[in-house]
Structure 1
Amino acid sequence: MTTTQKTKITVKSIVDAPLEKVWDYFTQPKHIIHWNNASPDWHTPRAENDLQPGGSFTSRMEAKDGSMGFDFGGVYQEVEKHSFYSYIMEDGRYAKVSFRKVPDGVEVTETFDAEMENPVEMQKNGWQSILDNFKTYTESEAKLVRLHFEILIQNTPKEVYRMMLEKPTYEEWTDVFSPGSTYIGTWEKGSKILFVSLGEEGNQNGLVSKVIKNIPNKHIDVEHLGELKEGVEIMEGKEVEMWKGAHEKYTFEEKGENTLLLIDLDSSMEFDEYFTGIWPKALRKLKEICEIKHEKKSQIAG
């Protein structure tokens, strides 16, 4: 009887950051989606991670042009916080990631079983590129984290899209964020739009943005460009850099007669916890609005 020895591949990188930060940025989904790609034409739009023995993880990796994609996942075997973890991939291969303090920061080492379809060198280069992206992301000072929220609404994508954006109902559900919330402008592709909160003295404060994409009843992509302070548009400066280039995306997926509303947004680290707490409340309010109107419409039709 003979056994086949699996080829093991190892990649390493030294990250100039504290151990706790390196661990968090490597394991938290809100960070994983920013660095988990081997080349600029690929990205990870979504990740899930239950970091404990027996827990599972999944990263959705896709070509940015939408031509292809796949899920990469596995189940954790051992986990020692700030030290190492191991896991079994969905195809049965074993991998281990270790974190070790060194004079220049933290050495991150990944060792994994090679697969049989691609050359070993190609696999090593791909994993090393992803690890190099992680190093760049973690060492960078400017940070935007990607947040994801979703909710199932008992109404059609057309109606959810309409009620989410039309000013009367928009002001109703966004009042959760700040009383007096509204917008100035239109949702047409390429147009400028101001997201405004009216202060006690009627001053307009908020964000200066642009609608990058608007496919009615399907998808909206808004990019934030600057800030609005007391009615004045501020497009440059340290505070503006916190938001400049951040995106806010709404996706409306048809689920039978219902709509799965997906929200993906970039947030500065400073507002991470705030948005994590407030967005689900706003979405529940939007769901309530859409479903009440849907129920009334159904009663009238009946």
Structure 2
Amino acid sequence: METLVYTIQINTSPERVWDVLWGEITYRQWTTAFTEGSFYQGTLEEGSTVKFLDPKNNGMYSRVEKNIPHKEMKFLHLGEIYDGVEAPQNWGEATESYILEEKDDGTELKAEIQTPAEFKEFFEDKFPKALGIVKNLSENQL
């Protein structure tokens, strides 16, 4: 497992950043950095299962491990989805966390990913772009 950490300073409140991360429309906007047309199905309540999908019904499914509004969201990735069919994977502790910390000049957003090594290059390319979109949406969208 690789631990990858990406941090960005956003000049607005943690509440605003949170709303951009998990709002239905804005989630679709910032996740285009990973896959055009990405969306999620399900609720973000702790213990629930959520599906992260592309327009072709491919993606992955995860359990919400932690949801502390405006502070932290953590997912444990359980498997992949192909044509809408879940395929469990033995990824161990493959997690993805979003941690928001209020600062004097706004919010520090940290994304921390525990991932198998084969996904490292993908995340290294995509995550900084995704967080840049989150920053832009958080600071500039009405």
TM-score of the superposed pair, with normalisation by structure 1: 0.46
Contact 1:211/1:223, CA 8 A, preserved across alignment: yes
1:183 to 29, 37, 40: 40
State yes or no: 1:226 paired with 2:79.
yes
The equivalent of 2:63 in structure 1 is: 210
1:192 to 49, 53, 57: 49
Quote the Cα distance in structure 2 between the aligned partners of 1:186 and 1:163: 16
Sequence identity of aligned pairs in percent? 38
Residue-by-residue CA offset, 1:254-289 (whole Å, 9 max, x unaligned): 012500001100122111111111100110011001
Aligned residue pairs total 142
Residue-by-residue CA offset, 1:42-92 (whole Å, 9 max, x unaligned): xxxxxxxxxxxxxxxxxxxxxxxxxxxxxxxxxxxxxxxxxxxxxxxxxxx
TM-fit CA distance, 1:215? 0.5
The equivalent of 1:256 in structure 2 is: 104
SS state at 1:155 partner: coil
TM-fit CA distance, 1:173? 0.4
Contact 1:151/1:262, CA 8 A, preserved across alignment: yes
SS state at 1:180 partner: coil
TM-fit CA distance, 1:227? 1.1
TM-fit CA distance, 1:169? 0.1
The equivalent of 1:274 in structure 2 is: 122
Quote the Cα distance in structure 2 between the aligned partners of 1:273 and 1:226: 19
1:162 to 19, 23, 26: 19
TM-fit CA distance, 1:244? 4.5
State yes or no: 1:245 paired with 2:93.
yes
Residue-by-residue CA offset, 1:212-237 (whole Å, 9 max, x unaligned): 110000111110111111100112xx
Quote the Cα distance in structure 2 between the aligned partners of 1:163 and 1:287: 9
What amino acid is the match of 1:291? Answer: E
State yes or no: 1:291 paired with 2:139.
yes
Contact 1:194/1:207, CA 8 A, preserved across alignment: yes
Higher relative contact order (CA 8 A, sep 6+): 2
What amino acid is the match of 2:36? Answer: P
What amino acid is the match of 1:234? Answer: A
TM-fit CA distance, 1:247? 0.5
Unpaired stretches in structure 2, ≥5 consecutive residues: none
TM-fit CA distance, 1:245? 3.0
Quote the Cα distance in structure 2 between the aligned partners of 1:244 and 1:192: 17
Unpaired stretches in structure 1, ≥5 consecutive residues: 1-143, 297-302
Residue-by-residue CA offset, 1:131-180 (whole Å, 9 max, x unaligned): xxxxxxxxxxxxx2110000000110011011110110000000111111
Contact 1:225/1:245, CA 8 A, preserved across alignment: no
State yes or no: 1:151 paired with 2:8.
yes
SS state at 2:36 partner: coil
Quote the Cα distance in structure 2 between the aligned partners of 1:149 and 1:229: 28
SS state at 1:227 partner: strand
